[in-house]
Amino acid sequence: MSSIQVIFIRHAEASNSWGNHPDPGLSDNGKNQSKELINHPELIELDDYSFISSPKLRAIETAKPLAEKFEKEVFIENIFTEIPSPDVEPENKQEWLKGIIQMDKKDLPKKILNWKNDIFLNTKMLSQNTVVFTHFMVMNALLSELTSNANLLYFNPDYTSVLKITIENKEFKNFSTERGKKTSINL
């Protein structure tokens, strides 16, 4: 039986909000949060993991301390980027997102459905232990699909929250979340 672990880590605190800046780096607090990841109990043994990041600067910067600790190259993967909103004016992004996360998934715009499905399928096809540095909505899109949730919002991961998923023979087996209540769910 072939089993792998995929660990998703939400980026640390950004220096600017998603609606105000197209690609902010980390704030000073976010830089400290990313450094604290090297001591996180779920992230002590990552020698046999590959590292992937969203192309967004806040995710790349979050990956840096762990990548340095384990002497890993961080591969950029567009699949794990933030929810696509190219036609939404920056000042309207927060309100737009509130509507999207409350919408029934079957009614989502095609671009959002494709994004969600790409995340799900690409995660399922990973073939080795992997750490993915990503975003709030990526983690939610994946778990909403795994649990057959009616909409995209499944939980509220804090900055640098860890989501662990076990995949056996290309099938999702279980997952656990942290920040707030730690939850482990078998699928």
Please measure the distance between the N-terminal and C-terminal CA atoms of the chain and give it in whole angstroms: 17
CB atoms within 10 A of CB 21: 14
Q: CATH number, domain at 182?
A: 3.40.50.1240
| Total number of domains in the chain | 1
Give the range of the structural domain holding residue 100, as residue numbers without chain letter. 3-186
Give pLDDT, residue 2. Answer: 86
**CB 165, CB 183: distance < 8 Å:** no
pLDDT digits over 106-125, tens only?
999 999 999 999 999 999 99
Give pLDDT, residue 183. Answer: 47
All residues at 6 or more sequence positions from 166 whose CB lies less than 8 Å from its CB, including other chains: 3, 4, 5, 172, 173, 174, 175
pLDDT digits over 14-26, tens only?
998 776 777 999 9
**Stretches in the chain below the pLDDT threshold 70:** 1, 19, 179-187
- CA separation for the pair 8, 135 (Å, rounded): 9
pTM of structure: 0.94
